[in-house]
Structure 1
Amino acid sequence: MSTPSNSAGTPMEEDSASVQKQKTSNPTETRPFVLKKWNALATWAWDVECDTCAICRVHLMEECLRCQSEPNSECCVVWGDCNHSFHHCCMTQWIRQNNRCPLCQKDWVVSRTSK
C-alpha cells in the first residue's frame, strides 16, 4: 500500500482537521439540495358522500346561488337524518313546497347544521 505524495515526491500527511474542513467547506457535495423555505397547505371537506347541493348544484363549501347574490349573508350546510346535506337556504325553500328529502324522499328531519 503506497502513501500519497506531493509534487516533490515526499509523502503527504493528511490530518483529520484538514479532511473535516474540506467536508464542511462545501455542504452541497454531501447533500443533493438544501430546503430553504417550506409552505404547508391543508384542505378540508365535509364528511358526506356527495359534496354538491342537489337543489342548486353548487359545491357545499361555496355559497349557494342566493347567498352569492346577497352581500353579507352567511350560507351554512344542513344535514338530515338520512345523512344527505344541502345549503340551508336551498333546503328552506324546498321545505316550503315538499317536506321530504330531495334525494331519498324520506321525511325531512334536521340532524345537524354547520356554522
Structure 2
Amino acid sequence: MKFTITSYNAVATWKWDTSSEPHKLWRYAQPDAEGSYGDVEDDEDEDDDVCGICRLAFESCCPECKVPGDDCPLIWGECTHVFHMHCLLKWIGTESSKQQCPMDRREWGKSPCS
C-alpha cells in the first residue's frame, strides 16, 4: 500500500522551566538504571506556573507586553520566587515594596541563576 503525504501541520509548545532544582531538565535527559529516559513528571503545583504579581501564566506575557518569550523574560530571586521581569520591576519601583519580594517580604536579591 502506497500513500502520499499532501500536507503536514507541525505543532509545538514551550514552557518556562521555573523549577528551583538547578539541573532538573539535564537529569531527565540522562538514562535511568534500565537505560530508558522515562517520562518527565509534572509534579509542580498549579500555583507555581503563574506570576505572583499579575497572576498570569508564565507562558503568557505580563500585562505590559503583547508577545511572550524572550522580550518578557522571567526573573528569579534568591528566595526562589519567580516573576515576569516587568511585573517585578514595576513592583520594586513602588515605595510600598521596600525593595522586598512580594511573596515573602525578604529583601529582594536577584538570583545568580537568572
* TM superposition score category, shorter chain reference: 0.5 to 0.7
> C-alpha distance in 2, partners of 1:105/1:61?
25
Q: Distance in 2 between matches of 1:52 and 1:100?
A: 19
Taking structure 1 as the reference length, the TM-score comes to 0.54
Gaps of 5+ in 1: 1-38
Structure 1 residue 41, shift from structure 2 partner: 6.2
Q: Indicate the RMSD between aligned Cα atoms, in angstroms.
A: 2.8
2:60 aligned residue: 62
TM-score normalised according to structure 2 size? 0.54
The 1:52/1:100 distance shift into structure 2, 3 A limit, reads same
CA displacement 1:36-88 (0-9 Å, x = unmatched): xxx896754423361100111111121111112x8xx8100000000000000
Call closer, same or farther: CA 1:106–1:47 in 2, change over 3 Å: same
Matched residues in 1 for 2:61 and 2:11: separation?
Answer: 26
Q: Distance in 2 between matches of 1:54 and 1:75?
A: 15
Find 1:79's aligned residue among 56, 59, 76.
Answer: 76
Q: How many residue pairs align between the two structures?
A: 75
What is the aligned partner in structure 1 of residue 17 from structure 2?
Answer: 46
Conserved 8 A contact 2:14-2:59: no
Matched residue of 2:107: which SS? coil
Moved more, 91-100 or 40-49: 40-49
Distance 1:92 1:45, change over 3 A: closer
- When you count helix as a share of all residues, which structure comes out higher? 1
- Runs of 4+, deviation exceeding 3 Å: 39-45
